[in-house]
Structure 1
Amino acid sequence: MSQALHPMLNIAIKAARTAGSIINRAALDLEVLKIGSKGPNDYVSEVDRAAEEAIINTVLEAYPGHGILAEESGRAHGAKHSDYVWIIDPLDGTTNFLHGFPVYAVSIALAYRGQVQQAVVYDPTRNDLFYASKGRGAFLNDRRLRVSKRTRLSDSLIGTGFPFRKGDNFKRYVKMFEELMASCAGLRRPGAAALDLCYVAAGYYDGFFETGLNPWDAAAGALIITEAGGLVGNFTGESDFLYQREIVAGNPKVYGQMVQILAPYTRVIKEDAPAEGPLSAAAAGLAAADATATVLAAESKAAPAAAAPATPAKKAVRIRKAAAATPEGDDAPM
């Protein structure tokens, strides 16, 4: 890589590649994998756990005082009250992986005082490394990423993810899907949200929306989008999406048009109570990845101030402002 990378980003890349090697080796012999279930249609394999362990070991070896929020182990590892929290999804797209469908990725983000500052999404089947540091742009391998320039939703290719967990409102989603499908050039659902978000940053998609995502699904990809000039928010176009279980992203023009369609479907409950610390929404209740939809819904009431790691500093996310240029992020006080 030609540019000098932030030391913490280098550790994230090292951890992601280590996990990717574990995943690629396991992909050669899927039949022998032990597979468990976290719920209907929600699977976990020994590869998820091995990849997560490798990531956590790599991170804590370099930064033993940092906190960890990981899909399989929650906050069981790392410091409990650090300003730095690593948000980890060791294998986003487990169902794809278990079927040999080559769309899955490792997602690692580092948040400092509730703001995501470093992000890596690694696609081990293609050896594609998406990464970003706040204020320094987004990259795929050595190529600088920019969101697409399409201005009309009717010309746009949109990514999405189907709700599949118990408690997800499928009928509500079908209405959204129907309305957007009639408004755009095409809808795609590959099945790995972390990669979907990177595809927005790369300009492959013009926009993306999904409900039911967890913080580890979206934290890294969201920073990569904003560093590529895109916008990310909840369905009403506001920045508190990470713990709200709804997300919309896109280039500025398409984002605004998607928000207009999706706003009536929002489930966000606003509350003015201040958060108690960095990523306190996660710390309060995400003890493990098998937390129920009820627990996660309760967490979505956490204050927006602590739950807006990856969006632009200015309110460029309002519908009427959607066409404005994306503001540049401030450099992290690291």
Structure 2
Amino acid sequence: MSFLTAEIEALHNLAVKTAKRAGVHIQSRVGNHSGIQSKDGGDTLASQVVTEVDHESEDLILTSLDDSICSLNLGLLTEESEDNASRHEKGAFWCIDPIDGTLPFTEGVPGYSVSIALVARDGTPLIGVIYDPVTQTTYHAFQGGGAMRDGVPIPSGDKSSANQLTWAMDRSMKESIDYPRALEMLEELVFEEGFDGLKILDHAGSVLNACWVTENKPAVYFKFPKSNKGGGSVWDFAATACLFTEWGLPPTDVHGESLRLNPEGCTFMNEKAVVYGSSAKLRESVRQLYQDLRS
């Protein structure tokens, strides 16, 4: 499915408006929700937590996007609703995470966001919008439009005055059997590249972890493959995949291949996982780190 530039830009603007509206609602409910529920998901607490605010946010988003779904015959994939397979039948589909980082939301700490993406049936990310309700920051991009933060182009990953490597990670990383060795190897990289040290950010959901790579250059965010279901789903990475593609640094799996954002069957990304970096060199260093771990 092909869109005119004006159509893509209009849908992007709609997604920005929608994400902000959902984010304002979410922020109004911090500390004011009926409690935590559980759902079938991956193998970590973060993937199994849900609140009524997740559903409220999803309803608000779907109401806002409904006209575009009907008029443009778009498919839909969203975290809190069953996959209806329309993503394989339509030319493109909205991919929505109404609250990424529900666990930090329930704790009342930063790290949660709204994520809205438009993905072509072949898996190409066309639009990516992320809204951080805590800082009221919008990260946004559309195909051919560049990567933006609140309407301003995100500076190149090569342009940074910092000399400390930042490792943004999901909480589950520290529970991984690979964590001690990965930490050791990143510390070796810090020494080899002449960085002043290693800073770890470990309190956000997948979406903001990727966004924070753009804010904390030089930086990396990655997840390693695992056999059991989990490792994030398509809605955790679709919007930031567009953002990073427009930033000139498309994320890859651990083998250097493009992320499969419209896989057959299961939406989990555990088999090949993801790698984000603020430079191509750092992205390659992480992929090499994984190969060394498995050798």
Over 3 Å counting, the alpha-carbon distance change for 1:127 and 1:150 in structure 2 is closer
Q: Deviation at 1:195? A: 1.1
Paired position in structure 2 for 1:229? 248
Paired position in structure 2 for 1:63? 69
Match of 2:274 among 213, 231, 247: 247
Q: Deviation at 1:142? A: 2.1
Q: Deviation at 1:176? A: 2.6
CA distance in 1 between counterparts of 2:205 and 2:257 reads 23
CA distance in 1 between counterparts of 2:188 and 2:87 reads 48
Paired position in structure 1 for 2:202? 189
Match of 2:82 among 74, 97, 100: 74
Q: SS state of the match for residue 33, structure 1? A: coil
Q: Deviation at 1:35? A: 1.9
Which residues in structure 2 correspond to 1:30-179 (within 5 Å)? 30=32, 32-38=33-39, 41=45, 42-64=48-70, 65-76=73-84, 81-113=89-121, 114-149=123-158, 155-163=164-172, 170-179=176-185
Give the number of aligned pairs: 256
Mean CA deviation greater in 114-123 or 168-177: 168-177
1:24 aligns with 2:30: no
Using the aligned pairs only, state the percent identity. 28
1:207 aligns with 2:211: no
Paired position in structure 2 for 1:257? 285
List runs of 5+ in structure 1 lacking aligned partners: 267-334
CA distance in 1 between counterparts of 2:211 and 2:82 reads 24
Structure with the higher helix share, 1 or 2? 2
CA distance in 2 between counterparts of 1:70 and 1:117 reads 16
Q: Deviation at 1:169? A: 8.1
Q: Deviations over 1:180-238 (max 9, x none)?
A: 24433323212221112112234545221124121111110121112112241111222
Q: SS state of the match for residue 171, structure 1? A: coil
Q: Deviation at 1:265? A: 5.0
8 Å contact 2:255–2:287 — kept in the other structure?
yes
CA distance in 2 between counterparts of 1:77 and 1:61 reads 20
CA distance in 2 between counterparts of 1:86 and 1:118 reads 9
CA distance in 1 between counterparts of 2:210 and 2:235 reads 12
CA distance in 2 between counterparts of 1:87 and 1:177 reads 33
Match of 1:220 among 229, 239, 263: 239
Q: Deviation at 1:174? A: 4.1
8 Å contact 1:162–1:189 — kept in the other structure?
yes
1:15 aligns with 2:18: yes
Mean CA deviation greater in 86-95 or 33-42: 33-42
CA distance in 1 between counterparts of 2:137 and 2:69 reads 25
CA distance in 2 between counterparts of 1:218 and 1:79 reads 16
CA distance in 2 between counterparts of 1:262 and 1:80 reads 32
